[in-house]
Amino acid sequence: MKTLTTGQDSTLGNYRKLTASVLGDDSPATKHLDNKILESPGGENEEVLADEGQMLNLLLSLHAAKEGR
């Protein structure tokens, strides 16, 4: 399994925890991950195969869209 630069496994749950702690529970990025967790067979333990940089870009783009940036 891939690991994040934080040393955690690259899972939807770990991305969700990190996103919520930085952007908040109400962020569109956090809500996107909540939906993915519900849709995925592995839930929060589902491995994220995308590169960490790509995931961060996606999540920050979702958040910035809410802010009108």
**Per-residue pLDDT tens over the stretch 3-30:** 999 999 999 999 999 999 999 999 999 9
* CB hemisphere CA count around 4 (13 angstroms): 20
Question: Sign of the CA dihedral 17, 22, 25, 28?
Answer: negative
pLDDT of residue 66: 75
21-52 as b/e: b if 16+ CB within 10 A: eebeeebbbbbbbbebbeeeeeebebebeeee
Mean pLDDT of all residues in 54-66: 94
**Per-residue pLDDT tens over the stretch 39-57:** 999 999 999 999 999 999 9
pTM over the 0.85 mark: yes
For residues 19 and 49, the answer to whether their CB atoms sit within 8 Å is no
